[in-house]
Protein backbone atom coordinates (compact mmCIF):
# COMPACT_ATOMS: atom_id res chain seq x y z
CA UNK A 1 0.00 0.00 0.00
CA UNK A 2 1.29 3.45 -0.97
CA UNK A 3 -0.05 6.47 0.90
CA UNK A 4 -0.15 9.82 -0.89
CA UNK A 5 -0.81 13.05 1.02
CA UNK A 6 -2.18 15.92 -1.09
CA UNK A 7 -4.44 15.67 -4.14
CA UNK A 8 -3.10 18.56 -6.23
CA UNK A 9 -1.43 17.94 -9.59
CA UNK A 10 1.56 16.19 -7.95
CA UNK A 11 -0.48 13.94 -5.64
CA UNK A 12 -3.01 13.00 -8.34
CA UNK A 13 -0.26 12.08 -10.82
CA UNK A 14 1.60 10.13 -8.12
CA UNK A 15 -1.50 8.18 -7.09
CA UNK A 16 -2.36 7.31 -10.69
CA UNK A 17 1.11 6.20 -11.74
CA UNK A 18 1.51 4.05 -8.62
CA UNK A 19 -1.95 2.54 -9.13
CA UNK A 20 -1.26 1.90 -12.82
CA UNK A 21 1.87 0.01 -11.74
CA UNK A 22 -0.40 -2.32 -9.77
CA UNK A 23 -0.05 -0.87 -6.25
CA UNK A 24 -2.93 -0.16 -3.87
CA UNK A 25 -3.00 3.56 -3.10
CA UNK A 26 -4.61 5.59 -0.34
CA UNK A 27 -4.88 9.26 -1.34
CA UNK A 28 -5.43 11.69 1.56
CA UNK A 29 -6.67 15.23 0.95
CA UNK A 30 -7.78 17.82 3.47
CA UNK A 31 -10.02 19.60 0.94
CA UNK A 32 -13.51 18.59 -0.10
CA UNK A 33 -12.55 17.92 -3.73
CA UNK A 34 -9.60 16.60 -5.72
CA UNK A 35 -7.45 19.07 -7.68
CA UNK A 36 -5.34 21.06 -5.22
CA UNK A 37 -4.69 24.75 -5.79
CA UNK A 38 -4.38 24.64 -9.56
CA UNK A 39 -7.48 22.57 -10.30
CA UNK A 40 -9.58 24.05 -7.51
CA UNK A 41 -13.15 23.46 -8.66
CA UNK A 42 -16.74 24.06 -7.70
CA UNK A 43 -19.18 21.46 -6.32
CA UNK A 44 -21.45 19.98 -9.01
CA UNK A 45 -24.40 21.89 -7.50
CA UNK A 46 -22.97 25.19 -8.82
CA UNK A 47 -23.28 25.39 -12.58
CA UNK A 48 -20.86 27.90 -14.14
CA UNK A 49 -18.31 27.74 -16.94
CA UNK A 50 -15.26 26.59 -14.96
CA UNK A 51 -13.21 26.45 -18.14
CA UNK A 52 -13.32 30.27 -18.15
CA UNK A 53 -11.43 30.29 -14.83
CA UNK A 54 -8.81 27.74 -15.81
CA UNK A 55 -7.72 27.24 -19.42
CA UNK A 56 -6.50 23.78 -18.35
CA UNK A 57 -9.68 22.79 -16.52
CA UNK A 58 -10.46 19.87 -18.84
CA UNK A 59 -7.15 18.02 -18.31
CA UNK A 60 -7.64 18.38 -14.55
CA UNK A 61 -11.16 16.97 -14.84
CA UNK A 62 -9.90 13.97 -16.81
CA UNK A 63 -7.15 13.28 -14.26
CA UNK A 64 -9.52 13.63 -11.30
CA UNK A 65 -12.01 11.24 -12.91
CA UNK A 66 -9.30 8.67 -13.65
CA UNK A 67 -8.15 8.78 -10.03
CA UNK A 68 -11.66 8.55 -8.66
CA UNK A 69 -12.56 5.61 -10.92
CA UNK A 70 -9.35 3.64 -10.44
CA UNK A 71 -10.03 0.34 -8.61
CA UNK A 72 -6.62 0.50 -6.86
CA UNK A 73 -7.12 3.99 -5.39
CA UNK A 74 -9.02 4.83 -2.21
CA UNK A 75 -9.67 8.56 -1.89
CA UNK A 76 -10.03 10.08 1.58
CA UNK A 77 -11.34 13.64 1.22
CA UNK A 78 -11.86 16.14 4.08
CA UNK A 79 -9.05 14.32 5.86
CA UNK A 80 -6.26 16.38 7.35
CA UNK A 81 -2.93 14.93 8.40
CA UNK A 82 -2.25 17.08 11.45
CA UNK A 83 0.90 15.31 12.66
CA UNK A 84 3.38 12.81 11.23
CA UNK A 85 6.45 10.95 12.43
CA UNK A 86 8.90 8.42 11.02
CA UNK A 87 10.33 5.53 13.04
CA UNK A 88 12.37 2.59 11.78
CA UNK A 89 11.23 2.91 8.18
CA UNK A 90 7.56 3.38 9.05
CA UNK A 91 5.73 6.70 8.61
CA UNK A 92 2.93 7.32 11.08
CA UNK A 93 0.26 9.78 9.95
CA UNK A 94 -2.28 11.16 12.39
CA UNK A 95 -5.42 12.19 10.52
CA UNK A 96 -8.59 13.97 11.50
CA UNK A 97 -11.81 13.75 9.53
CA UNK A 98 -15.22 14.93 10.66
CA UNK A 99 -13.98 15.14 14.25
CA UNK A 100 -12.64 11.57 14.23
CA UNK A 101 -8.93 10.88 14.57
CA UNK A 102 -7.13 7.95 13.00
CA UNK A 103 -3.56 6.69 12.78
CA UNK A 104 -2.19 5.42 9.45
CA UNK A 105 1.08 3.49 9.28
CA UNK A 106 2.84 3.10 5.96
CA UNK A 107 6.25 2.10 4.66
CA UNK A 108 5.71 3.92 1.34
CA UNK A 109 4.66 7.52 1.56
CA UNK A 110 4.47 10.23 -1.10
CA UNK A 111 4.20 13.78 0.22
CA UNK A 112 2.64 16.31 -2.15
CA UNK A 113 1.42 19.03 0.20
CA UNK A 114 1.99 21.95 -2.20
CA UNK A 115 2.46 25.60 -1.41
CA UNK A 116 0.67 28.77 -0.38
CA UNK A 117 1.05 32.44 -1.33
CA UNK A 118 4.15 34.23 -0.12
CA UNK A 119 3.21 37.51 1.56
CA UNK A 120 5.39 40.47 2.54
CA UNK A 121 4.40 42.74 5.42
CA UNK A 122 3.86 46.43 4.64
CA UNK A 123 2.02 49.28 6.39
CA UNK A 124 -1.70 48.43 6.43
CA UNK A 125 -1.40 44.82 5.21
CA UNK A 126 -3.57 43.73 8.14
CA UNK A 127 -6.54 45.89 7.08
CA UNK A 128 -9.61 43.79 6.09
CA UNK A 129 -9.64 43.75 2.29
CA UNK A 130 -5.92 43.13 1.85
CA UNK A 131 -5.72 39.56 0.60
CA UNK A 132 -3.49 37.33 -1.51
CA UNK A 133 -4.04 36.51 -5.20
CA UNK A 134 -4.37 32.84 -4.21
CA UNK A 135 -7.04 33.70 -1.64
CA UNK A 136 -9.02 35.79 -4.11
CA UNK A 137 -8.70 33.10 -6.75
CA UNK A 138 -9.65 30.32 -4.32
CA UNK A 139 -12.87 32.20 -3.51
CA UNK A 140 -13.68 32.51 -7.20
CA UNK A 141 -12.61 29.05 -8.40
CA UNK A 142 -13.68 27.07 -5.34
CA UNK A 143 -16.73 29.02 -4.13
CA UNK A 144 -17.93 31.16 -7.06
CA UNK A 145 -17.44 34.25 -4.87
CA UNK A 146 -16.00 37.58 -6.04
CA UNK A 147 -13.80 38.94 -3.25
CA UNK A 148 -14.60 42.58 -4.08
CA UNK A 149 -15.92 45.03 -6.62
CA UNK A 150 -12.80 47.08 -7.35
CA UNK A 151 -9.70 44.94 -7.00
CA UNK A 152 -6.02 45.82 -7.22
CA UNK A 153 -3.73 42.90 -8.06
CA UNK A 154 -0.06 43.33 -7.24
CA UNK A 155 3.19 41.63 -6.31
CA UNK A 156 5.31 39.60 -8.65
CA UNK A 157 5.13 36.48 -10.79
CA UNK A 158 3.16 35.04 -13.68
CA UNK A 159 0.40 33.90 -11.30
CA UNK A 160 -0.93 37.49 -11.17
CA UNK A 161 -2.08 37.14 -14.79
CA UNK A 162 -4.57 34.23 -14.47
CA UNK A 163 -5.95 35.77 -11.28
CA UNK A 164 -6.56 39.14 -12.96
CA UNK A 165 -7.98 37.42 -16.06
CA UNK A 166 -10.40 35.26 -14.04
CA UNK A 167 -11.66 38.25 -12.07
CA UNK A 168 -12.07 40.44 -15.17
CA UNK A 169 -14.00 37.68 -16.96
CA UNK A 170 -16.35 37.43 -14.01
CA UNK A 171 -17.21 41.12 -14.09
CA UNK A 172 -14.88 42.40 -11.37
CA UNK A 173 -13.36 45.84 -12.01
CA UNK A 174 -9.59 45.18 -11.94
CA UNK A 175 -8.52 48.76 -11.16
CA UNK A 176 -4.80 48.05 -11.31
CA UNK A 177 -2.41 45.19 -12.12
CA UNK A 178 1.04 46.01 -10.75
CA UNK A 179 4.02 43.74 -11.40
CA UNK A 180 7.09 44.81 -9.40
CA UNK A 181 9.62 43.29 -11.81
CA UNK A 182 10.28 44.54 -15.31
CA UNK A 183 9.77 42.67 -18.58
CA UNK A 184 13.42 43.08 -19.62
CA UNK A 185 14.42 40.48 -17.01
CA UNK A 186 13.07 37.88 -19.47
CA UNK A 187 15.84 38.75 -21.96
CA UNK A 188 18.37 36.85 -19.82
CA UNK A 189 16.07 33.81 -19.76
CA UNK A 190 15.12 33.74 -23.45
CA UNK A 191 16.51 30.23 -24.19
CA UNK A 192 14.35 28.71 -21.43
CA UNK A 193 11.34 30.68 -22.62
CA UNK A 194 11.76 29.67 -26.27
CA UNK A 195 11.94 26.04 -25.13
CA UNK A 196 8.50 26.42 -23.63
CA UNK A 197 6.26 27.78 -26.35
CA UNK A 198 3.10 26.64 -24.53
CA UNK A 199 3.95 28.96 -21.62
CA UNK A 200 4.40 31.89 -24.03
CA UNK A 201 1.01 31.11 -25.58
CA UNK A 202 -0.61 30.91 -22.15
CA UNK A 203 0.86 34.26 -21.07
CA UNK A 204 -0.16 35.86 -24.37
CA UNK A 205 -3.73 34.64 -24.03
CA UNK A 206 -4.03 36.22 -20.56
CA UNK A 207 -2.64 39.52 -21.85
CA UNK A 208 -5.03 39.39 -24.81
CA UNK A 209 -8.05 38.87 -22.55
CA UNK A 210 -6.90 41.57 -20.13
CA UNK A 211 -6.56 44.05 -23.02
CA UNK A 212 -10.20 43.37 -23.91
CA UNK A 213 -11.14 44.45 -20.39
CA UNK A 214 -8.77 47.45 -20.64
CA UNK A 215 -6.49 46.08 -17.91
CA UNK A 216 -2.82 46.87 -18.51
CA UNK A 217 0.10 45.31 -16.62
CA UNK A 218 2.06 48.17 -15.03
CA UNK A 219 5.57 46.85 -14.55
CA UNK A 220 8.04 48.20 -12.01
CA UNK A 221 5.28 49.19 -9.56
CA UNK A 222 4.42 47.85 -6.10
CA UNK A 223 1.75 48.44 -3.47
CA UNK A 224 3.70 49.91 -0.53
CA UNK A 225 0.90 50.96 1.82
CA UNK A 226 -2.79 50.20 2.40
CA UNK A 227 -5.35 52.61 3.86
CA UNK A 228 -8.64 52.01 5.66
CA UNK A 229 -11.85 54.04 5.38
CA UNK A 230 -14.14 55.15 8.22
CA UNK A 231 -15.59 51.60 8.46
CA UNK A 232 -12.10 50.15 9.08
CA UNK A 233 -12.06 48.29 5.76
CA UNK A 234 -9.64 48.83 2.88
CA UNK A 235 -10.39 52.01 0.94
CA UNK A 236 -7.21 52.58 -1.11
CA UNK A 237 -3.60 51.52 -1.60
CA UNK A 238 -0.47 53.56 -2.27
CA UNK A 239 1.31 52.37 -5.37
CA UNK A 240 4.90 53.42 -6.07
CA UNK A 241 7.41 52.89 -8.82
CA UNK A 242 10.21 50.69 -7.47
CA UNK A 243 13.79 50.00 -8.50
CA UNK A 244 14.98 46.45 -9.14
CA UNK A 245 15.93 46.12 -5.45
CA UNK A 246 12.35 47.23 -4.59
CA UNK A 247 13.33 50.59 -3.08
CA UNK A 248 10.75 53.27 -3.84
CA UNK A 249 11.49 55.95 -6.44
CA UNK A 250 10.60 59.07 -4.46
CA UNK A 251 7.79 61.19 -5.88
CA UNK A 252 6.21 58.25 -7.75
CA UNK A 253 3.66 57.38 -5.04
CA UNK A 254 -0.05 57.65 -5.87
CA UNK A 255 -3.25 56.36 -4.32
CA UNK A 256 -5.54 53.85 -6.03
CA UNK A 257 -9.08 53.45 -4.67
CA UNK A 258 -10.15 49.81 -4.22
CA UNK A 259 -12.07 47.56 -1.84
CA UNK A 260 -9.74 44.55 -2.19
CA UNK A 261 -6.00 44.38 -2.85
CA UNK A 262 -4.68 40.93 -3.77
CA UNK A 263 -0.92 41.01 -3.23
CA UNK A 264 1.42 38.04 -3.60
CA UNK A 265 5.15 37.48 -3.97
CA UNK A 266 5.31 33.95 -5.36
CA UNK A 267 4.78 30.91 -3.19
CA UNK A 268 6.04 29.31 0.01
CA UNK A 269 6.27 25.51 0.16
CA UNK A 270 4.09 23.86 2.83
CA UNK A 271 6.76 21.96 4.75
CA UNK A 272 4.78 21.26 7.92
CA UNK A 273 4.60 17.47 7.42
CA UNK A 274 8.06 17.30 5.81
CA UNK A 275 9.44 18.85 9.01
CA UNK A 276 7.49 16.39 11.21
CA UNK A 277 8.97 13.50 9.24
CA UNK A 278 12.51 14.82 9.57
CA UNK A 279 13.06 15.15 5.81
CA UNK A 280 16.24 16.95 4.83
CA UNK A 281 15.50 20.47 3.57
CA UNK A 282 17.62 23.13 1.96
CA UNK A 283 17.42 26.81 1.12
CA UNK A 284 17.30 27.43 -2.63
CA UNK A 285 19.85 29.83 -4.08
CA UNK A 286 17.27 30.74 -6.73
CA UNK A 287 14.52 32.24 -4.57
CA UNK A 288 15.68 31.84 -0.98
CA UNK A 289 12.76 29.48 -0.28
CA UNK A 290 13.17 26.30 1.79
CA UNK A 291 12.40 22.99 0.06
CA UNK A 292 12.55 19.21 0.61
CA UNK A 293 15.73 17.73 -0.86
CA UNK A 294 14.95 14.96 -3.38
CA UNK A 295 16.99 12.75 -5.70
CA UNK A 296 16.28 12.25 -9.39
CA UNK A 297 13.46 9.79 -8.55
CA UNK A 298 11.84 12.10 -5.94
CA UNK A 299 13.29 10.03 -3.07
CA UNK A 300 13.86 12.01 0.14
CA UNK A 301 16.44 11.62 2.89
CA UNK A 302 14.14 9.10 4.68
CA UNK A 303 13.83 5.59 3.24
CA UNK A 304 10.38 4.95 1.77
CA UNK A 305 9.34 8.61 1.66
CA UNK A 306 9.05 10.41 -1.66
CA UNK A 307 8.15 14.06 -2.26
CA UNK A 308 6.74 15.76 -5.35
CA UNK A 309 5.37 19.10 -6.49
CA UNK A 310 5.86 22.53 -4.96
CA UNK A 311 7.35 21.21 -1.70
CA UNK A 312 10.48 20.27 -3.66
CA UNK A 313 10.72 23.69 -5.38
CA UNK A 314 8.24 26.13 -6.87
CA UNK A 315 7.77 25.19 -10.51
CA UNK A 316 4.12 25.26 -11.58
CA UNK A 317 1.51 22.63 -12.23
CA UNK A 318 3.22 20.90 -15.19
CA UNK A 319 6.42 20.29 -13.24
CA UNK A 320 4.32 19.12 -10.27
CA UNK A 321 2.57 16.61 -12.55
CA UNK A 322 5.88 15.33 -13.95
CA UNK A 323 7.36 14.94 -10.47
CA UNK A 324 4.22 13.23 -9.18
CA UNK A 325 4.35 10.71 -11.99
CA UNK A 326 8.00 9.93 -11.20
CA UNK A 327 7.32 9.64 -7.45
CA UNK A 328 4.40 7.26 -8.02
CA UNK A 329 6.42 5.03 -10.34
CA UNK A 330 9.49 5.08 -8.10
CA UNK A 331 7.43 4.21 -5.00
CA UNK A 332 5.91 1.32 -6.95
CA UNK A 333 9.38 0.15 -7.96
CA UNK A 334 8.78 0.83 -11.68
CA UNK A 335 10.98 2.54 -14.28
CA UNK A 336 10.93 6.33 -14.23
CA UNK A 337 11.49 8.78 -17.05
CA UNK A 338 12.97 12.04 -15.83
CA UNK A 339 13.58 13.90 -19.14
CA UNK A 340 10.32 15.91 -19.03
CA UNK A 341 10.99 16.94 -15.44
CA UNK A 342 14.47 18.18 -16.33
CA UNK A 343 13.15 20.36 -19.16
CA UNK A 344 10.35 21.81 -17.01
CA UNK A 345 12.74 22.40 -14.11
CA UNK A 346 14.90 24.63 -16.36
CA UNK A 347 11.86 26.75 -17.17
CA UNK A 348 10.89 26.90 -13.49
CA UNK A 349 14.38 28.21 -12.64
CA UNK A 350 14.05 30.86 -15.36
CA UNK A 351 10.74 31.99 -13.85
CA UNK A 352 12.25 32.30 -10.38
CA UNK A 353 15.16 34.36 -11.77
CA UNK A 354 12.75 36.63 -13.65
CA UNK A 355 10.48 37.38 -10.70
CA UNK A 356 12.78 37.82 -7.66
CA UNK A 357 11.76 39.67 -4.51
CA UNK A 358 14.12 42.64 -4.04
CA UNK A 359 15.63 42.97 -0.54
CA UNK A 360 14.51 46.58 -0.12
CA UNK A 361 10.86 45.68 0.40
CA UNK A 362 11.90 46.25 4.00
CA UNK A 363 12.26 49.98 3.27
CA UNK A 364 8.42 50.11 2.97
CA UNK A 365 8.04 49.15 6.65
CA UNK A 366 7.34 51.60 9.49
CA UNK A 367 8.25 50.93 13.15
CA UNK A 368 4.59 50.24 13.94
CA UNK A 369 4.06 47.84 10.99
CA UNK A 370 2.86 44.44 12.18
CA UNK A 371 5.16 41.62 11.09
CA UNK A 372 3.53 38.67 12.92
CA UNK A 373 -0.22 39.14 12.64
CA UNK A 374 -1.28 36.27 14.93
CA UNK A 375 0.71 37.59 17.91
CA UNK A 376 0.60 41.26 16.83
CA UNK A 377 4.37 41.71 16.87
CA UNK A 378 5.55 44.92 15.21
CA UNK A 379 8.84 45.78 13.53
CA UNK A 380 9.70 47.98 16.52
CA UNK A 381 9.36 45.05 18.93
CA UNK A 382 11.57 42.83 16.74
CA UNK A 383 14.14 45.64 16.48
CA UNK A 384 14.23 45.94 20.28
CA UNK A 385 14.74 42.21 20.71
CA UNK A 386 17.78 42.36 18.41
CA UNK A 387 19.28 45.73 19.33
CA UNK A 388 18.45 45.87 23.07
CA UNK A 389 18.13 42.22 24.08
CA UNK A 390 20.88 40.86 21.82
CA UNK A 391 18.95 38.30 19.73
CA UNK A 392 20.92 37.31 16.64
CA UNK A 393 18.57 34.78 15.02
CA UNK A 394 14.85 34.34 14.40
CA UNK A 395 14.49 31.57 16.94
CA UNK A 396 15.71 33.80 19.76
CA UNK A 397 13.54 36.66 18.48
CA UNK A 398 10.59 34.25 18.56
CA UNK A 399 11.30 33.38 22.20
CA UNK A 400 11.55 37.07 23.14
CA UNK A 401 8.55 38.35 21.16
CA UNK A 402 6.26 35.35 20.42
CA UNK A 403 6.39 36.09 16.68
CA UNK A 404 5.51 32.88 14.82
CA UNK A 405 3.89 31.31 17.91
CA UNK A 406 0.27 32.07 17.00
CA UNK A 407 -2.42 30.23 15.09
CA UNK A 408 -0.47 30.08 11.80
CA UNK A 409 2.74 28.91 13.56
CA UNK A 410 4.90 31.14 11.37
CA UNK A 411 3.45 30.01 8.03
CA UNK A 412 2.80 33.62 7.04
CA UNK A 413 5.52 35.57 8.85
CA UNK A 414 8.32 33.00 9.25
CA UNK A 415 10.30 33.90 6.15
CA UNK A 416 9.80 37.66 6.61
CA UNK A 417 11.00 37.43 10.22
CA UNK A 418 14.16 35.66 8.99
CA UNK A 419 14.79 38.53 6.56
CA UNK A 420 13.97 41.32 9.02
CA UNK A 421 16.20 39.85 11.75
CA UNK A 422 19.03 39.37 9.23
CA UNK A 423 18.84 43.03 8.19
CA UNK A 424 18.68 44.43 11.72
CA UNK A 425 21.43 42.19 13.08
CA UNK A 426 23.57 42.59 9.95
CA UNK A 427 24.00 38.80 9.94
CA UNK A 428 22.49 36.69 7.10
CA UNK A 429 19.95 34.12 8.29
CA UNK A 430 21.57 30.69 8.45
CA UNK A 431 19.96 27.81 6.57
CA UNK A 432 19.26 26.17 9.94
CA UNK A 433 17.38 29.31 11.06
CA UNK A 434 15.31 29.36 7.86
CA UNK A 435 14.52 25.63 8.05
CA UNK A 436 13.57 25.90 11.73
CA UNK A 437 11.11 28.71 11.04
CA UNK A 438 9.10 26.25 8.89
CA UNK A 439 9.20 23.53 11.59
CA UNK A 440 6.02 23.10 13.62
CA UNK A 441 5.28 20.02 15.74
CA UNK A 442 1.58 20.16 14.91
CA UNK A 443 1.02 20.59 11.16
CA UNK A 444 -2.45 22.11 11.39
CA UNK A 445 -4.69 23.40 14.18
CA UNK A 446 -6.57 20.69 16.08
CA UNK A 447 -9.25 21.01 18.76
CA UNK A 448 -8.41 19.95 22.32
CA UNK A 449 -11.40 17.57 22.24
CA UNK A 450 -9.96 15.86 19.16
CA UNK A 451 -6.52 15.70 20.72
CA UNK A 452 -8.07 14.07 23.80
CA UNK A 453 -9.37 11.16 21.64
CA UNK A 454 -5.82 10.02 20.88
CA UNK A 455 -4.61 7.20 23.14
CA UNK A 456 -1.50 8.04 25.16
CA UNK A 457 1.36 5.64 24.42
CA UNK A 458 4.32 5.52 26.82
C1 LIG B 1 -3.89 29.58 -3.72
C2 LIG B 1 -3.13 29.14 -4.94
C3 LIG B 1 -3.70 29.22 -6.21
C4 LIG B 1 -3.00 28.80 -7.33
N5 LIG B 1 -3.59 28.91 -8.56
C6 LIG B 1 -2.86 28.62 -9.68
C7 LIG B 1 -3.38 28.83 -10.97
O8 LIG B 1 -4.49 29.28 -11.13
N9 LIG B 1 -2.60 28.54 -12.03
C10 LIG B 1 -1.34 28.04 -11.87
O11 LIG B 1 -0.66 27.78 -12.87
N12 LIG B 1 -0.83 27.82 -10.65
C13 LIG B 1 -1.53 28.12 -9.57
N14 LIG B 1 -0.99 27.96 -8.34
C15 LIG B 1 0.32 27.35 -8.25
C16 LIG B 1 -0.01 25.87 -8.00
O17 LIG B 1 -0.02 25.64 -6.61
C18 LIG B 1 0.91 24.84 -8.52
O19 LIG B 1 1.36 25.06 -9.76
C20 LIG B 1 0.30 23.44 -8.41
O21 LIG B 1 -1.01 23.41 -7.95
C22 LIG B 1 1.17 22.72 -7.41
O23 LIG B 1 0.74 21.41 -7.32
P24 LIG B 1 1.04 20.55 -6.02
O25 LIG B 1 0.39 19.24 -6.24
O26 LIG B 1 2.47 20.58 -5.67
O27 LIG B 1 0.32 21.33 -4.83
P28 LIG B 1 -1.17 21.82 -4.56
O29 LIG B 1 -1.93 22.01 -5.79
O30 LIG B 1 -1.01 22.95 -3.62
O31 LIG B 1 -1.81 20.59 -3.78
C32 LIG B 1 -1.46 20.24 -2.47
C33 LIG B 1 -2.64 19.56 -1.83
O34 LIG B 1 -2.23 19.02 -0.60
C35 LIG B 1 -3.28 19.17 0.34
N36 LIG B 1 -2.67 19.14 1.69
C37 LIG B 1 -1.68 19.95 2.15
N38 LIG B 1 -1.37 19.63 3.42
C39 LIG B 1 -2.19 18.59 3.76
C40 LIG B 1 -2.36 17.84 4.96
N41 LIG B 1 -1.61 18.09 6.06
N42 LIG B 1 -3.30 16.86 5.00
C43 LIG B 1 -4.05 16.61 3.88
N44 LIG B 1 -3.95 17.29 2.71
C45 LIG B 1 -3.02 18.27 2.66
C46 LIG B 1 -3.86 20.54 0.00
O47 LIG B 1 -5.19 20.68 0.47
C48 LIG B 1 -3.76 20.54 -1.52
O49 LIG B 1 -4.96 20.10 -2.13
C50 LIG B 1 -1.68 28.32 -7.19
C51 LIG B 1 -1.12 28.23 -5.92
C52 LIG B 1 -1.82 28.63 -4.80
C53 LIG B 1 -1.16 28.56 -3.46
Instruction: Find the 437 Cα to ligand 1 centroid distance in Å.
Output: 21
> Which residue lies with its CA nearest to atom 5 of ligand 1?
38
Instruction: Find the 451 Cα to ligand 1 centroid distance in Å.
Output: 27
Pocket test for ligand 1, best of 28, 33, 36, 102 (most atoms within 8 A of CB): 36
Q: What is the pLDDT of residue 193?
A: 81
Mean pLDDT of 241-264: 98
Q: What is the pLDDT of residue 110?
A: 98
Instruction: Find the 391 Cα to ligand 1 centroid distance in Å.
Output: 35
Q: For 101, phi and psi rounded to 5 degrees?
A: -100, 150
Find all residues with CB under 8 Å of 418, minimum gap 6, and list them.
394, 429, 433, 434, 437
Distance CA 37, CA 432 (A): 29
Distance CA 296, CA 262 (A): 36
Q: Which CATH superfamily is domain 119-265 in?
A: FAD/NAD(P)-binding domain (3.50.50.60)
Q: What is the pLDDT of residue 47?
A: 64
CATH class entry, domain 2-116+268-352 = alpha beta
**458, pLDDT greater than 60:** no
Q: Are 177 and 150 in contact (CB under 8 A)?
A: no
Query: How far apart are the two ends of the chain, measured CA to CA in Å?
Result: 28
**351, pLDDT greater than 60:** yes
Instruction: Find the 134 Cα to ligand 1 centroid distance in Å.
Output: 10
Q: What is the pLDDT of residue 247?
A: 98
- Cβ of 309 less than 6 Å from ligand 1: yes
What topology is assigned to 365-436 in CATH? Arc Repressor Mutant, subunit A (1.10.10)
Pocket test for ligand 1, best of 13, 26, 37, 109 (most atoms within 8 A of CB): 37
List pLDDT tens digits, range 49-71. 767 667 788 889 999 999 999 99
Q: 10 Å Cβ neighbour count for 181?
A: 21
| Percentage of the chain exceeding pLDDT 90 | 83
Q: Atom of ligand 1 at shortest distance to CA of 53? A: 8
Q: What is the pLDDT of residue 141?
A: 86
List pLDDT tens digits, range 77-123. 999 999 999 999 999 999 999 888 899 999 999 999 999 999 999 99
Q: What is the pLDDT of residue 289?
A: 94
Mean pLDDT of 416-423: 96
Q: What is the pLDDT of residue 33?
A: 92
Q: What is the pLDDT of residue 195?
A: 83
- Cβ of 209 less than 6 Å from ligand 1: no
**pLDDT range class, residue 399, cuts 50, 70, 90:** very high
> Which residue lies with its CA nearest to atom 49 of ligand 1?
36
| Percentage of the chain exceeding pLDDT 70 | 97
**441, pLDDT greater than 90:** no
Q: Is there a common fold for 119-265 and 365-436?
A: no
Q: Are 457 and 290 in contact (CB under 8 A)?
A: no
Q: 10 Å Cβ neighbour count for 158?
A: 16
C-beta contacts of 317-320 below 8 A and 24+ residues apart: 317/8, 317/9, 317/38, 317/39, 317/56, 318/9, 318/344, 319/344, 319/345, 319/347, 319/348, 320/8, 320/9, 320/10, 320/13, 320/38, 320/112, 320/114
* CA dist list (Å): 9 to 60, 106, 206, 440: 8, 22, 21, 25
Q: What is the pLDDT of residue 46?
A: 67
> Which residue lies with its CA nearest to atom 10 of ligand 1?
38
Instruction: Find the 28 Cα to ligand 1 centroid distance in Å.
Output: 14
Q: What is the pLDDT of residue 56?
A: 81
Helices 9-20 + 57-69 axis angle, to 10: 40
CB neighbour class for 358 (10 Å; exposed up to 12, middle 13-18, buried from 19) = middle
Residue spans of the domains in the chain: they are 2-116+268-352, 119-265, 365-436
> Which residue lies with its CA nearest to atom 33 of ligand 1?
6
Q: What is the pLDDT of residue 416?
A: 96
Amino acid sequence: MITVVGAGPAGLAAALSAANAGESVELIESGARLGGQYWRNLPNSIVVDQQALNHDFQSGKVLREKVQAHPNITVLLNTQVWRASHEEGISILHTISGGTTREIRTNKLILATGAYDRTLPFPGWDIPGVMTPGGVQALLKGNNVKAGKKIVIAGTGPFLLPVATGLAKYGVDVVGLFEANRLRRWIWQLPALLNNISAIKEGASYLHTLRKFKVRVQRGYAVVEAHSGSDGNLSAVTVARVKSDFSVIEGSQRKVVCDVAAIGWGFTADLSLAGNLGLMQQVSLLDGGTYVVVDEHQGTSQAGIFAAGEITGIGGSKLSLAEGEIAGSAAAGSETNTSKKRKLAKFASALLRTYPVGPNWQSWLKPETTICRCEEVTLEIIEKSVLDLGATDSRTVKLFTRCGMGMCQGRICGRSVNDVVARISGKPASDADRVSSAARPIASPILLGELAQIPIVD
